[in-house]
Amino acid sequence: MHPLLRLLALYRAHLRLAVVVMAGLALVNLAQPATAWLVGLAVEDLRSGQAVARLADGSLDASGAWRWVWILVGVTLLRGVLQYGATIVAMVLGQRLLHTLRARILDAVQSLDLAWHRRHGAGEVINRTTRDSDLVRDAVVGGTRSLFELAMVVVGTLGLLLWYHWALALVPALLVTTAILIMRSHAGRLVALDRAAAESYDAVSQELSEGVQGVRVIKAFALERSRVDRFSRTVDAFTAKARAAVSYTAARLPLPQLIVATGHVWVLGCGGWLMMHGLITPGDLIAAMMVIQGLVFRVEAIGYLVRLFADASSSAGRIMEILDANPAIRRPASAPAIPDGPLELRLAAATVRIDGRPVIDGIDLTLHPGTITALVGATGSGKTTLAQLVPRLRDPDSGSVEMRRPGGTWIALRDLDPAAWRRRCQLAFQEAFLFSDTLEANLRLVRPQATADQLAEALRLAAADEVAAAISDGMHGRIGERGVTLSGGQRQRVCLARALLARPAILVLDDATSALDALTEARVLDGLRRGLPDTAVLMICSKPASCAAADRVAMLREGRIAALGTHAELAERDPLYRDLLGLDRGAA
């Protein structure tokens, strides 16, 4: 089914409003030929002397004419009221449809896995949620409304012409059909051109997003001019594609409009002939000219409708790509409850392939409650990919990741509710992300009902208590977009405090202390041991002091665990480990 028709199903959630709009528009647009018919009757009354009669005393009785005036005024006022009401309800319907569509897109985006997000940039997702949604809303509400109105006008016009004489309706019907077929033949090319323009606009949004978010890097390397030039080239590319779509429309749509407009000539010529032969009255001819004029006026806007639906068809296809995307990680139909208390986690022959290459290759590793396991390895050895397996941000292609209460039965993470598991398993990233909100709101994301004492305790364990003291309004102070008002080390400590506030059974630190000095990092690790004594910690790190503080160290090499032991043991016996941490540069 066509993507735009599938999105029309959104009407089902607002069916009553849609029915009210369509009923109102039907009455409004059928009133147009009805008005012309009444005008024709009024003209005949005037011609026959029934509307204005001369009395015996020589005066004129215009009561019949005034009756027609009030009838026409009443019909016009009623039509105006219906038009106003239908327009207001259509605006409400449009906003509700837009809200429903955007909510569905955001829900779908949030459910998709990290692999999908790596393939689709933020600018593309934002455009599909905003620009594409707006275009679909305009077509589903405004375009459908205009198309329905056009259909009502065509039916009413041809019906009235047929009522007067079949010959009056024959040629206009053929002309309208021909125009529709011509415009339909161009629709496919228009959709392709509009999709190319939309994808080019994605690049514009991506460049703009990076230009704003990366402003510090741009200024640090004096890249302002080059970034502006690059953005200008991207805009020029979008402009060229948009101009191609507009040019295609402008060159091809006037012809069908001209074809329908020739209906004027036919109605006037044929109607005059019919009137001369007494087959229709002068009032009928006037009414026929009025309704054909209304039809031509409506058809003049059909170029806009074709372009609108072409844009919306392209946008609907882009939106359905998101809504139809299958999340790689799903909640099973019946998920067992996750046990309370300490948990063990193990990777059993876990393998992850990216582009056919094994990034994680048959790894076996167990995390025990109350222990810190350091994970080290060269760049590209698979550390971050392994870290993503633990909170189930991705699943292994083969093998399994399992958890259990100590001494209990192992349960595969695939069988658990991902949301419930992630509440027990926290991941702190190297790139600390904070929302543009207060410090307190950022912490409460993982535990909304936390008390003030629990917030303070989490900050203290993460050595971030002075961060709150440094903000002007303390816990209620806003920390700016992405935490821009804080230093890198402060952001990392606040994010770590957020993870600790959740009291996780499993904690993964993906180089989450890389911006901390040795003394602060030691405080953080000491706080972890004292504050969460039963938590199993997997810590990706590259500092010798961090490895020395861990209970054991696993060294990754080409997706496999090349060595496993304490820091002292590996430093003593493994030259690759010493070289990796810079402990023995001379020998290396």
| Per-residue pLDDT reduced to its tens digit, 222-246 | 778 888 888 888 888 888 888 888 7
User: Could you give the CA distance from residue 286 to residue 267 in angstroms, rounded to a whole number?
Assistant: 10
User: Could you give the CA distance from residue 290 to residue 278 in angstroms, rounded to a whole number?
Assistant: 20
User: Could you give the CA distance from residue 176 to residue 310 in angstroms, rounded to a whole number?
Assistant: 20
How far is Cα of residue 29 from the mean position of the Cα atoms in its chain?
35
User: Could you give the CA distance from residue 372 to residue 530 in angstroms, rounded to a whole number?
Assistant: 12
Q: What is the pLDDT of residue 585?
A: 46
**37 and 294 Cβ atoms separated by less than 8 Å:** no
SS3 assignment, position 556: strand
Helix count (H) and strand count (E) of the chain? 24, 12
User: Could you give the CA distance from residue 35 to residue 72 in angstroms, rounded to a whole number?
Assistant: 7
Give just the sign of the alpha carbon dihedral 575, 576, 577, 579.
Answer: positive
User: Could you give the CA distance from residue 14 to residue 100 in angstroms, rounded to a whole number?
Assistant: 10
DSSP 214: T
DSSP 326: P
φ and ψ at residue 587, rounded to 5 degrees? -65, -35
| pLDDT bucket at 301, cuts 50 / 70 / 90 | low
- pLDDT tens for 200-220 read 877 887 788 777 767 767 776
SS3 assignment, position 79: helix
> Residue range 441-456: average pLDDT?
87
User: Could you give the CA distance from residue 408 to residue 345 in angstroms, rounded to a whole number?
Assistant: 12
> Residue range 552-579: average pLDDT?
90
**14 and 91 Cβ atoms separated by less than 8 Å:** no
Least trusted range by pLDDT, from 62-76, 214-228, 497-511, 535-549? 214-228
**397 and 347 Cβ atoms separated by less than 8 Å:** no
Instruction: Find the angle CA(126)-CA(130)-CA(136) to the nearest 5 degrees.
Output: 130
3-state SS, 400-424, equals EEEEECCCCCCEEHHHCCHHHHHHH
Confidence check: pLDDT of 126 > 90: no
SS3 assignment, position 332: coil
C-alpha distances out from residue 417 to 103, 268, 287, Å: 22, 72, 68
SS3 assignment, position 349: strand
Q: pTM of the prediction?
A: 0.65
| pLDDT bucket at 347, cuts 50 / 70 / 90 | very high
In the block, residue with structure tokens 């005024």:
73
φ and ψ at residue 357, rounded to 5 degrees? -100, 130
Least trusted range by pLDDT, from 240-254, 296-310, 561-575? 296-310
| pLDDT bucket at 586, cuts 50 / 70 / 90 | very low
**206 and 212 Cβ atoms separated by less than 8 Å:** no
Q: What is the CA radius of gyration of the chain?
A: 36
Top mean pLDDT of 51-60, 150-159, 475-484 is at: 150-159
Residue type, 325: A
Confidence check: pLDDT of 375 > 80: yes
Q: What is the pLDDT of residue 482?
A: 61
Q: What is the pLDDT of residue 588?
A: 34
User: Could you give the CA distance from residue 322 to residue 512 in angstroms, rounded to a whole number?
Assistant: 31
Q: What is the pLDDT of residue 100?
A: 83
- pLDDT tens for 240-281 read 888 888 788 777 767 777 787 788 788 888 888 888 888 888
Q: What is the pLDDT of residue 481?
A: 63
Angle between the N-to-C axes of helices 144-164 and 166-213, in degrees from 0 to 180, rounded to the nearest 10: 170
Confidence check: pLDDT of 121 > 80: no
**370 and 534 Cβ atoms separated by less than 8 Å:** yes
Torsion angle in degrees (nearest 10) through CA of 74, 76, 79, 85? -90
User: Could you give the CA distance from residue 504 to residue 27 in angstroms, rounded to a whole number?
Assistant: 63
Same fold, 3-323 and 344-581: no
Q: What is the pLDDT of residue 556?
A: 92
Q: What is the pLDDT of residue 484?
A: 66
Report the CATH number of the 344-581 domain.
Answer: 3.40.50.300
Q: What is the pLDDT of residue 565?
A: 92
**329 and 167 Cβ atoms separated by less than 8 Å:** no
SS3 assignment, position 167: helix
CB-hemisphere CA count at 13 Å for 254? Answer: 5
Confidence check: pLDDT of 315 > 70: yes
> Residue range 415-429: average pLDDT?
88
Q: List the chain domain ranges.
A: 3-323, 344-581
Give just the sign of the alpha carbon dihedral 502, 507, 509, 510.
Answer: negative
> Residue range 538-547: average pLDDT?
88
The larger pLDDT score, comparing residue 85 to residue 347, is at 347
Confidence check: pLDDT of 363 > 70: yes
Give the CATH fold of the 3-323 domain: ABC transporter transmembrane region fold (1.20.1560)
Q: What is the pLDDT of residue 41?
A: 80
SS3 assignment, position 376: strand
Torsion angle in degrees (nearest 10) through CA of 388, 390, 392, 396? 80
User: Which tokens hold the place of 52?
Assistant: 């204005």
Q: How many CB atoms lie within 10 A of CB 262?
A: 13
How far is Cα of residue 170 from the mean position of the Cα atoms in its chain?
47
